[in-house]
Each structure stands twice: as structure tokens, then as C-alpha cells.
């Protein structure tokens, strides 16, 4: 029986790791700032009025971003406000970002939207991407994915290549009102060509599922491997699964186990669980129930349980087991 289109769409969106549907607090930070370093006592941020007097106008917004990058969020805000009053769009976007993420200021999505709109109207197309993110999540405004798509289309028309990826995600979201796998594939390809590894992963998933492009497992494996080698943890897991099952590549259990280990060490619970299975069965790695328990304990701590591992790793079962049990399958869903 064919899978209903809406089920296929939801499954694909889940496989890609739908960033726009993540928790609002995480998704608002579409470009997370670097971890702030606590300023040494002897190098505290200078007083803003004195600082502004000492800088030429074209350096002031750069100093605001410099303060932001060092974690001087209030200093960044105060400098940016002075520039924003003069219509500086980049300064207005920075203020919006500080309000959206509660950096040095109370988190106020409504205030962020005001500043992002000012920035967009004054010529910063990146602000349109931030507005799209908020609209898609319903942060500071009702959820409106069509409005989000409109913001992204406008940003794309103004040369914001990042918008390709976000618009592609909306094109595979069944609730967006613009479901279009072919467009999504083209957008992901454009983003991938610009070096967006999330887009490479998404394009791999489309090729594997045959959505928006002809099904091509070899191309899916090539792209998944590219994303995995770039450090995309979800791609590492998927590439390991494809390698283990011989999907689009020559089956190699040892290489599959190695990729599961890379992702497991990065903290991915699916990889930890699948690696535990391999150690129980002795496939791709020497059989070792202690190592299996080690990795499965991490997966369980993250909330991922596995009935097969529970049974085979139980003390009485392990004691009675003389031969490796048959592995039930290594994939993302079992």
C-alpha cells in the first residue's frame, strides 16, 4: 500500500532534522553567537560615550559587533543604539538579535520584531531571514509559515544565499502551505553549492527518498558521506546506516561501525545505541558486552531505550549467551 503523501512528507522532514520546527529558544538563534569570554578585570569595556567620541562614524558599528563577539552585550547594545538612531540597518539588526535572544537584555521577541523590521526597511536583507524564523515559529507573532516564506523569498531576491536553505525547509514542511519537493531540492542544491552542510544533508535525504529528484541511492550516499566528513553528526549516523546496509555504497560493516563511533562520541544517542548493537552481535567490531553496555548506558541516559538491547544485555541473558545473537537491523527507526 503506498504511503500517504502527508506521511511521507512528515517522515522526510523528521529525517532532515527540521530546524525551523525546533524549540523556539534554540531556533531563534539561527546564527548562534560565539561563547562569550569573561572580560579580564583590567580590560573592561570602555565607557560608551568616550568610546564613540574616539571612533570615526564608519568604525562605530564595527566596534558594536566587536563588543558583541567578545560578550560585551550591553556595550554592543549602547553603541548600536547610537548608530540605529541614524538609520544604520546593521545596528538595528544587531539590536533585534540581542532582544530576540536575551543577550544582555531581557528577551523581548516583540521588541526584536520592531528592530528587525526597521533593519529590513533600511536595507539589511539578513533581517528578513530573522523575521522569517520568528514567523515560522510563532515567536512574538502568530505562527505564519506563508509569511515566513515571503520573507525568505524577499531575502533570496536580495542576494541572501542563506535563505535558500531555510526556504527549502519550508518547502518540505506539510504545514507550510508551499509543499514542493522539486523546489526544495533546487534550493538545497543552491545552498549546498555555497557550502551549507545542512543543505548537503537535506539533499542527500531527498535523493534517498526520491522526493523532488529521482531516487538515487548512490548520490544519496555520496552526499551523506560529504556531510559526514564535514562533521554533520546526523549525517554521520545516516551514512553509517547506509554503509552497514550497503545502501548506495559497497557494504562495509567495519567502516559503518567507525562512523557510528564518531557520532556516538559526539553524543548522538541513536549512534550510541546502534554501536552497542554491533558490539553485542560482533558485527564490524569484536564482540564485547562490556563496551556494548557502556554505549547503551549513554543512549538510555539520553532517553533512548532498545528492547533488544535490554534483553540481550540483561545479566542472566548475557551469562547464558554463548553465541552472538542475530542482529535485528541497524537503522534509524528500529
End-of-domain residue from the set 175, 209, 232: 232
- Are residue 226 and residue 286 in the same domain, yes or no? no
pLDDT of 325 reads 63
Count the domains in the chain: 2
Return averaged pLDDT per consecutive 10 residues of the chain, 334 residues in all. Answer: 41 44 30 34 37 45 86 94 94 96 96 98 96 96 96 97 97 95 98 97 98 98 98 98 98 98 98 98 97 97 96 72 63 52
pLDDT of 98 reads 96
End-of-domain residue from the set 232, 267, 286: 232
- Are residue 223 and residue 242 in the same domain, yes or no? no
- Are residue 181 and residue 33 in the same domain, yes or no? yes
Using an 8 Å Cβ cutoff, are 108 and 99 in contact? yes
- Are residue 152 and residue 192 in the same domain, yes or no? yes
Residue 302 grid cell: 539520553
- Are residue 181 and residue 320 in the same domain, yes or no? no
- Are residue 239 and residue 168 in the same domain, yes or no? no
pLDDT of 50 reads 39
Q: Which residues are CB-neighbours of 301 under 8 A, at least 6 positions away?
A: none
pLDDT of 174 reads 94
Domain that includes residue 147, residue range: 5-232
- Are residue 209 and residue 274 in the same domain, yes or no? no
pLDDT of 47 reads 41
- Are residue 16 and residue 151 in the same domain, yes or no? yes
- The CATH number given to whatever domain includes residue 244 is 1.25.40.10
- Are residue 224 and residue 124 in the same domain, yes or no? yes
Burial 289-316 (b: 16+ CB within 10 A, else e): bebbbebbebbbeeeeebebbeebbeee
End-of-domain residue from the set 210, 232, 254: 232
- Are residue 173 and residue 322 in the same domain, yes or no? no
- Are residue 153 and residue 164 in the same domain, yes or no? yes
- Are residue 85 and residue 193 in the same domain, yes or no? yes
Amino acid at each position: 500500500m503506498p504511503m500517504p503523501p502527508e506521511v511521507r512528507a512528515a517522515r522526510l522532514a523528521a529525517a532532515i532534522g527540521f530546524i525551523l520546527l525546533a524549540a523556539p529558544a534554540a531556533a531563534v538563534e539561527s546564527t548562534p553567537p560565539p561563547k562569550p569570554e569573561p572580560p579580564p578585570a583590567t580590560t573592561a569595556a570602555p565607557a560608551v560615550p568616550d568610546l564613540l567620541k574616539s571612533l570615526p562614524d564608519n568604525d562605530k558599528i564595527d566596534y558594536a559587533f566587536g563588543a558583541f563577539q567578545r560578550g560585551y552585550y550591553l556595550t554592543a547594545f549602547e553603541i548600536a543604539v547610537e548608530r540605529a538612531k541614524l538609520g544604520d540597518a546593521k545596528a538595528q539588526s544587531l539590536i533585534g538579535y540581542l532582544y530576540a535572544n536575551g543577550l544582555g537584555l531581557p528577551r523581548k521577541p516583540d521588541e526584536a520584531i520592531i528592530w528587525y523590521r526597521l533593519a529590513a526597511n533600511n536595507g539589511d536583507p539578513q533581517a528578513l531571514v530573522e523575521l522569517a524564523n520568528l514567523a515560522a515559529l510563532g515567536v512574538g507573532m502568530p505562527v505564519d509559515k506563508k509569511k515566513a516564506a515571503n520573507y525568505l523569498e524577499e531575502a533570496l531576491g536580495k542576494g541572501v544565499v542563506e535563505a535558500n536553505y531555510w526556504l527549502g525547509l519550508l518547502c518540505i514542511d506539510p504545514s507550510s502551505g508551499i509543499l514542493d519537493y522539486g523546489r526544495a531540492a533546487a534550493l538545497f542544491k543552491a545552498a549546498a553549492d555555497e557550502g551549507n552542510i545542512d543543505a548537503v544533508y537535506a539533499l542527500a535525504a531527498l535523493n534517498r527518498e526520491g522526493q523532488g529528484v529521482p531516487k538515487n541511492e548512490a548520490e544519496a550516499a555520496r552526499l551523506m558521506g560529504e556531510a559526514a566528513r564535514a562533521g554533520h553528526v546526523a549525517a554521520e549516523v545516516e551514512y553509517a546506516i547506509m554503509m552497514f546496509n550497503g545502501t548506495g555504497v559497497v557494504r562495509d560493516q567495519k567502516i559503518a561501525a567507525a562512523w557510528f563511533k564518531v557520532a556516538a562520541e559526539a553524543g548522538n544517542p541513536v549512534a550510541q545505541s546502534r554501536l552497542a548493537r554491533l558490539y553485542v552481535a560482533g558485527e564490524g567490531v569484536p564482540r564485547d558486552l562490556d563496551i556494548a553496555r557502556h554505549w547503551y548506558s549513554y543512549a538510555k541516559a539520553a532517553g533512548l531505550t532498545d528492547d533488544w538491547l535490554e534483553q540481550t544485555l540483561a545479566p542472566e541473558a548475557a551469562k547464558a549467551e554463548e553465541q552472538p545473537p542475530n542482529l535485528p537491523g541497524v537503522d534509524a527507526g528500529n
